[in-house]
Amino acid sequence: MLPLILEQTLNGLQYGLMLFLLAAGLTLVFGIMDLINLAHGSLYMIGAFIAAALFQQFQNFYLAVVLSILLTALLGALLERVLYRRLQTMSHLSQVLATFALILVANESIKIAFGGQPLSIELPASLSGTVNLMGEDLQYPLYRLLIIAVGLAVAIGLYVLVNKTRMGMWLRAGTSDRVMAATMGIRIQPLFTFIFALGAGLCALAGALLGPLLAVSVGMGEAILIPAFEVIVIGGIGSMRGALVGALLVGMIDSLGRLAMTGLLKSFAVSGAATLGATLASMLVSLLMVAVLFFRPSGLFPARD
Amino acid sequence: MSEPLPQPEKSATPLGTGLPSPWAALAIAILLAAYPLVMNALGQTFYIGLGSRVLILALAASALNLALGYGGMVSLGHAAFLGAGAYTAAILAGLGMNQAWVVLPSAFAAAAVLAGLTGAISLRTRGVYFIMITLAFAQLFYYLAVSLPSLGGDDGLPLTERSKLPGLRLENDLSFYYFVLGTAALVFFLLYRLVSSRFGRALVATRENERRMAAIGYPVFRIKLLAYTLSGGIAGLAGGLLANLSMGVTPHTLTWHQSGILLVMTILGGSGYFWGGLTGAAIFLVLEETISAYTEHWNLALGLLLLFIVLAAPNGVMSFTGFRRGEKA
């Protein structure tokens, strides 16, 4: 039993950290630009597809990951210049609609470009082994540990960026009061473009890293978008700390909840316990969000009031 | 209160907005009543089913319009209420109950109860949090429908036969259309009475300035909750009709994509305009039908069109007509 719990805890940590990569971008964009970007998941999908296409071209995993991050970041910056800058001054409703439209456009464009078939990314041999944990009891894939390490590194990097650098100071100033920050001489427009490029790059990182584990397919953006939104709502929109706490909470509840629910259902001899357990775990996450908002209508760590 | 409050300027309070002229209503009614006869004469009976679909989704979009356009509550979870009505109809049919006068009010009631309960929690939050909590509730019911074997899981529930009314055979597409039209007419009449009543005006005023309404003593939370509940109920009624039209219900009705489409219809037509829901549903479904005939990438066209609408006509198609709408808060 114990190895199973440890395995699910590590899985939860891995899922949570990947969610954090998306949630960090979402929460920065919302915090500083006051913009709801439903199409954030599409950037994740596009990043994964670019990585898969590059991988098929060059058969080099690392090159595919790095190039996909750069290209998606470029796309994010471009989108900010062309579209998001205009949406920023509009109502939240218009933002929801326009970014919903972007999801449709992105999904169909990917379908046209790559066909409806999912793509796959193969791991290099050096990353595809397993590691023995707890003696011989648990053989955990090396690659998943690597994902955890990358996720932690990015979280630390973002912490340093936001709290210790001049850029981070501008970001925090912009989040707490955009107009005042601009008045005090912070050049806010290039900052927006930077945030968007950063958020898009993080999306691509998550998409490319998860590529070898999941099938790279058209619906993947929406599958992760809703949990990512739940994360930032639970954490408090605009708060980086909230995004990290929320992401880990959601990741853990999803994987440990799945384990618990599946076990519970099996003990009642319910058929199809595994899939049912997964759905129930997703419900638990939605319930958590509802409960958090019930007691704290602005999330756990409100960035501003 | 001894001192009367300063009266706002006339143009500042859009209390008269969103109220159609009776002539417009009459023209629309005649047009919709004649539509299937024309299609029959042209031999295009397929389009009668499309007409029923337009009317049903017009009801759903108008329900959302009540919450969104009149009440200012941006709900990204109305698919839950549409689905609640549809599942209610399918469950009742499975139990052998297929009298329309039981099925449809039940669909309304089930969705209204759901909207009342979730609304009581959701309306504690504001802005983006409200959008997200409505989405979370809808996801909750989506997962519930997918995971409960008694709700049919991924396959949903089939309807063995359409609901019945004494003296009316709804199996026939033509009579079903007129049944839907009759229901829609009744709902639109009641909606008209609602938005032109004191309650409707208080709702619009709450949308415009909630703090002020609270300060002058209106129970803003209850006003919004009631509007949200009614909105959910009407969406549920539309869901009950939808299950009858498509002879069943699948969890797809509950997806957030469906919630998004309802928002799109409402905005496309013009939120806060009385005929916004009907206009939006009609334009959306006719466009879908037309464009799908030429290309399988209908969603690409829809996305681009939607982007154009948001950037060029954020107040919807109805804003091109002579009706004026007050400044948005």
Render each residue's pLDDT in chain A as its tens digit; 305 residues: 788 888 889 999 999 999 999 999 898 888 878 888 999 999 999 999 999 999 988 888 899 999 999 999 999 999 999 999 888 888 888 888 899 999 999 999 999 998 878 888 888 888 888 888 777 778 888 999 999 999 999 999 998 998 899 988 888 888 778 888 888 888 888 888 999 999 999 999 999 999 888 888 888 888 888 899 889 989 988 888 899 999 999 999 999 888 888 888 888 777 777 777 888 888 888 888 888 988 888 888 886 54
DSSP B98: -
Min Cα–Cα distance to chain A from B115, Å: 15
- Domain count along chain A: 1
Asked if A293 has any chain B CB less than 8 Å from its own CB, the reply is: yes
Asked if B68 has any chain A CB less than 8 Å from its own CB, the reply is: yes
Asked if B313 has any chain A CB less than 8 Å from its own CB, the reply is: no
Whether B134 and B76 have beta carbons less than 8 Å apart is answered as yes
**A300 found inside a domain:** no
Q: Do A226 and B139 touch (CB under 8 A)?
A: yes
CA–CA separation, B83 vs A193, rounded Å? 40
Q: From residue B126, how far is each of A24, A74, A157 by CA, in Å?
A: 22, 34, 32
DSSP codes of every residue in B154-210: GG-EE-SS--BBTTB-TTSHHHHHHHHHHHHHHHHHHHHHHHTSHHHHHHHHHHH-H
Reported pTM: 0.87
Q: Do B132 and A229 touch (CB under 8 A)?
A: yes
Note the pLDDT of residue A304.
Answer: 57
Best residue of B70, B147, B309 to probe chain A, by most A CBs closer than 10 Å: B147
**A151 found inside a domain:** yes
**A180 found inside a domain:** yes
3-state helix/strand/coil string of B10-50 = HHHCCCCCCCCCHHHHHHHHHHHHHHHHHHHHHCCCHHHHH
CA–CA separation, B147 vs A275, rounded Å? 8
Asked if A283 has any chain B CB less than 8 Å from its own CB, the reply is: yes
Note the pLDDT of residue A226.
Answer: 87
Asked if A35 has any chain B CB less than 8 Å from its own CB, the reply is: no
A107 CB neighbours in chain B (<8 A) are 299
Whether B133 and A289 have beta carbons less than 8 Å apart is answered as yes
Give the CATH number for residue A36. Answer: 1.10.3470
**A37 found inside a domain:** yes
| A119 C-beta neighbours (distance < 10 Å), count | 17
Q: Do B299 and A98 touch (CB under 8 A)?
A: no
Q: Do B132 and A109 touch (CB under 8 A)?
A: no
Q: Which residues are paired to A131 by β-bridges? A: A140
Q: What is the ipTM metric for this complex?
A: 0.85
Closest chain A CA to residue B118: A290
Asked if B148 has any chain A CB less than 8 Å from its own CB, the reply is: no
Q: Do B139 and A94 touch (CB under 8 A)?
A: no
**A305 found inside a domain:** no
Residue A173 carries which side chain, given as an amino acid letter?
A: A
Asked if B303 has any chain A CB less than 8 Å from its own CB, the reply is: yes
**A126 found inside a domain:** no
- Domain span at residue A53 reads 2-115+142-295
Note the pLDDT of residue B3.
Answer: 42
Alpha helices in A84-185 (DSSP H): 85-87, 92-114, 142-164, 166-176, 178-183
A111 CB neighbours in chain B (<8 A) are 297
Asked if A286 has any chain B CB less than 8 Å from its own CB, the reply is: yes
Give the residue ranges of chain B where pLDDT is below 70.
Answer: 1-19, 314-329
Note the pLDDT of residue B317.
Answer: 67
Closest chain B CA to residue A236: B129
Q: Do A103 and B307 touch (CB under 8 A)?
A: no
